[in-house]
Every structure is written in C-alpha cells, then in structure tokens.
C-alpha cells in the first residue's frame, strides 16, 4: 500500500496510509453490506412479502432518491462540523434503519424503508472522499482511491457468502433468514459509529499519531499543490457554474448505471442460470466477480497514477464493462455468464479510482465538499434507474436482456463523455 505515495516522504506516507486506510476501508465495507444486502435477501424476501421484479427494482432504487435529496446538505454540514462527528452520526442512523428492514411486510414498507436508508446514508461516501483530500495529494489520489474503493468489491466478497450463511437461520426465534440478515448487518454500523466518534481525527493536525512536523508537512504538500494549479475552484458557487462539474456528473451517472445494474442483480442472474443451487452456494459464486474487481481496481489505480493519466483509463474500463454486461445479457449457460460477470467487474470497478482522481482534481474548500457531493448524488440517481429498468424488463419479457443492454449503452456513453474532459484532468 505504501507504494501508492512513492516519491513523497515515505515515513509520513506509510504512517498515514496504515493508520487511516484499513479503518476507512472497514467502514465502507460495512456501508456497502447494508446498502446491497437486499440483493441476497431478495432470493427469499420477495416470495415472503410479495415483491415482483419491478417492485423490487423500484424499491431498491428508492434508496438513491433519499440519497440524492440529502447528499449535498450532508457533505456541507460535514465540512463545518468535522468528519468524526458527522460520519459517526451517519453510521448510527443508517444502522438503525438497516436493521428496521427486517419489518418489511409488503411493497409500501419496502419502498419507504429503502428511501429512509438512502436518506440516512447520504453523505457517507462523498464525505470520505472529501476527508481523503485533506490527507492525500491529488497526483497520488487514484491509487489511494482505488485502495479505498476495493471496499465495494470486498463487501461483495464478504457480504454475499455471509448473507447466504445468515439466511440459513430461517425459522430461528420465529424470524425468516432474510430478517436475521438485516438485523445482524444493521447492528454493525451502530457499533462502528461509536468507534468513529472515539478515534477518527478530522485533520492531520488532530492526529495524535502524527508529530507536529509531520502534520505540517502534509498541509504544506497540499497547499503547494493548490498553488501549482490556478485552475482549482474553491467556492461552491463557482463550481456550480463550471461546466466541468456537470460533465463529470454525467460521466459518473453512466458508470453507476453499470455498478448498480451489477450489484443488485448478480445473485438473481446467477440463480437464473444455476437451477437448484442453494443460497449459500449462490453467495459464494456471487463473490467471484468481486474478487476480480478488487484486484483490477488496485492495478488500474496504480497504473493511472504512474502514467498521470485519467481519461483513457476511465474510458477503457467503461468500454470493457459494457462488453461484459452485453455478454451477460445474451448468456444462457452458467460458465459463460460467470465469465461475463467477471469481465463486467473488471471494467466497472477499474473505472472508479481514476474517475475520482479526475473528479477531485480541481475542487477544494467548500467547492470540494459541495462539488463531490453533487457528482456523487447525480451518479446516485443511476442507482434508481438501473435496478428499476432491469426489473421492469425481466417482468415484461421474462429475461434480463433488455435492461442489461440499456446499462451497457450507458457505459458506452460514459466512455465517450470522459474523452471530452479537457487536459485539466491530468494531475
């Protein structure tokens, strides 16, 4: 991990990375477990409470409507009150709502609780991205972001088998297995929120494990970097008027179409080509593409930093993801679909590190807090569109093909749009 900041003070880099990154990754793993565990719960919950594929897709997507509404205000508050307090608050809130998913009784309660979960989680991911801009120079941010974002893939590696195991508790103490899944995984962020409140430093100057000289060195690095790039935007009003922000938001929307078209349907897609397979085995099989995605993220992020190039890395990954999704759309055999899911994972997860290095390059101050949240919240709307489109297509045609082809088309658009980003994107 320390290689990602090669060329700067190795001792400080090592200390920052090993003190912060494992903990932040753990938080994001817990975040993604609660955001996406509904994909495994669906295998039994839909029949128990009466959810069609369309209703599942719509209700799942309502998470992102709540997320979208509260995202920007949440990040602006975090900049004012500090990461420690606000991230702890977010985790406590979403843990309670996530555990409350065990009380779903039908489409209305499913949609309402998914909306509330999105509202509770709003600001967590962009808040962490903003937090990292206080610690990591932009020229090394793709690899650091890639390490952090492996949490999305790691959550699938851990979460799907864990969910399969928890669902085996079906009938224990009168609860369905999917209710145990929501209860146990909802308790995790509550515990972690208390830990965040106790130990997370807001800025380098507040880190007890850094000396005053080391904290000053980090701040000087970041200050010097801002002086070298006069194109940076520091005020939110200026960022909102900057076309770069909206172009990046559109690109991220297309990438997230791929991500959540993938995340929320992988177990169901695998089950559709693997008749008779148990939930536990589906959980294990669903982890395989995430393993591939985690490795890819690190490799692509490091290469992007080494070459100091972002646009072509994102474009190439989007194109690979589109190819993988199209293969899934037309696949009918278990082996072919599993291979196609791995190809899709390479592109989808590989794009994230270089994209966020690109998106955070010209933003600082309140522009960073609000701008990062705007990009992420607009991307989050794709988390509403993709699951709904795929679910509707499945109910209408009996196949995933139409919805997946829409997702693949969005990824192709993302590849084209990112090449329109100007040279400011180079760090």
| pLDDT for position 369 | 62
DSSP state of 168: G
Q: Confirm if 119 and 217 have CB atoms less than 8 A apart.
A: no
User: 312: closest CA among 408, 410, 426?
Assistant: 426
pLDDT at 387: 84
Short-list 28, 43, 152, CA closest to 90? 28
What's the pLDDT at 377?
82
Distant-in-sequence, close-in-space partners of 84: CB < 8 Å, separation ≥ 6 = 196, 197, 200, 201, 202
Cβ atoms within 10 Å, residue 332: 9
DSSP state of 217: H
Max Cα separation, the chain?
Answer: 64
Q: What are phi and psi of 233, to 5 degrees?
A: -115, 130
pLDDT for 17 equals: 79
Phi then psi dihedrals of residue 105, to 5 deg: -125, -5
Percent of the chain at pLDDT exceeding 90: 31
In sequence order, which residues have a C-beta less than 8 Å from that of residue 241 and are 6 or more positions away? none
Residue with structure tokens 């393993």?
A: 291
Backbone φ and ψ of 275, nearest 5°:
-60, 140
Average the pLDDT over each of 105-119, 258-272, 336-350, 361-375 and give the range with the smallest value. Answer: 361-375
CA quadruple 418, 421, 426, 427: dihedral, nearest 10 = -90
Instruction: Give the highest mean pLDDT range of 15-29, 77-91, 139-153, 313-327.
Output: 313-327
Q: In sequence order, which residues have a C-beta less than 8 Å from that of residue 267 and are 6 or more positions away?
A: 39, 40, 42, 43, 160, 282, 283, 286
Instruction: Assign 400 a pLDDT band (cuts: 50, 70, 90).
Output: confident
- For 278, other C-beta atoms within 10 Å of its C-beta total 12
Listed ranges 74-78, 107-111, 357-361; the one with the highest mean pLDDT: 107-111
Q: How does residue 2 score in pLDDT terms, banded at 50, 70 and 90?
A: very low
Q: Whole-angstrom Cα distance, residue 142 to residue 320?
A: 19
Q: SS3 of 25, please?
A: helix
> Which is more confident, 112 or 9?
112
Task: Answer yes or no: is pLDDT of 20 > 60.
Answer: yes
Range with the lowest mean pLDDT among 284-293, 363-372, 394-403? 363-372
Name the residue among 406, 409, 297 with its Cα closest to residue 348: 297
pLDDT of 273 > 90? The answer is no
Label residue 388 by pLDDT band (50, 70, 90).
Answer: confident
Map tokens 């179409």 to a residue: 257
pLDDT band, very low/low/confident/very high, at 420 (cuts 50, 70, 90): confident
What's the mean pLDDT in 53-69? 88
CA distance 133 to 107: 40
Q: How far is CA 152 from CA 1, 64, 198, 223, 389, in A?
A: 17, 16, 25, 31, 22
Mean pLDDT throughout 139-155?
Answer: 73
Kindly report whether the global pTM for this prediction surpasses the value 0.85.
no
């Amino acid at each position: 991990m320390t290689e990602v900041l090669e060329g700067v003070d190795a001792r400080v880099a090592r200390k920052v990375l090993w003190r912060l990154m494992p903990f932040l990754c753990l938080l994001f793993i817990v975040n993604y477990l609660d955001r996406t565990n509904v994909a495994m719960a669906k295998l039994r919950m839909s029949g128990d409470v009466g959810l069609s594929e369309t209703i599942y897709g719509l209700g799942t997507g309502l998470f992102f409507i709540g997320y979208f509404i509260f995202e920007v205000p949440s990040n602006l508050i975090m900049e004012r009150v500090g990461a420690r307090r606000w991230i702890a608050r977010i985790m406590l809130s979403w843990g309670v709502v996530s555990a409350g998913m065990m009380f779903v009784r039908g489409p209305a309660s499913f949609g309402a609780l998914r909306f509330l979960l999105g509202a509770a989680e709003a600001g967590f991911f962009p808040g962490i991205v903003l937090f990292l801009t206080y610690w990591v120079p932009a020229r090394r941010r793709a690899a650091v972001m890639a390490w952090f974002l492996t949490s999305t893939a790691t959550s699938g590696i851990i979460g799907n088998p864990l969910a399969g195991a928890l669902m085996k508790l079906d009938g224990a103490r009168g609860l369905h297995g999917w209710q145990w899944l929501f209860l146990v995984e909802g308790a995790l962020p509550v515990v972690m929120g208390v830990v965040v409140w106790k130990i997370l430093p807001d800025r380098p100057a507040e880190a007890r494990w850094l000396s005053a000289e080391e904290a000053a060195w980090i701040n000087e690095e970041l200050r010097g970097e801002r002086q070298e790039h006069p194109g940076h935007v520091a005020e939110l009003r200026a960022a909102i008027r900057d076309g770069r922000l909206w172009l990046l938001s559109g690109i991220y929307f297309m990438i997230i179409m791929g991500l959540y078209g993938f995340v929320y349907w992988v177990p169901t897609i695998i089950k559709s080509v693997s008749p008779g397979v148990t939930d536990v085995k589906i959980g294990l099989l669903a982890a395989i593409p995430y393993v591939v995605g985690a490795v890819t993220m690190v490799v692509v992020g490091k290469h992007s930093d080494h070459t100091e190039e972002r646009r072509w890395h994102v474009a190439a990954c989007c194109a690979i993801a589109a190819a993988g999704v199209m293969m899934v759309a037309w696949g009918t055999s278990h082996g072919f679909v599993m291979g196609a899911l791995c190809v899709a994972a390479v592109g989808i997860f590989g794009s994230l590190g270089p994209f966020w290095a690109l998106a955070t390059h010209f933003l600082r101050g309140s522009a960073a807090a609000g701008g990062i949240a705007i990009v992420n919240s607009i991307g989050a709307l794709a988390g509403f569109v993709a699951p709904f489109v795929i679910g509707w297509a499945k109910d209408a045609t009996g196949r995933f093909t139409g919805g997946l082809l829409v997702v693949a088309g969005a990824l192709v658009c993302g590849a084209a749009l990112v090449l329109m980003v100007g040279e400011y994107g180079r760090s």
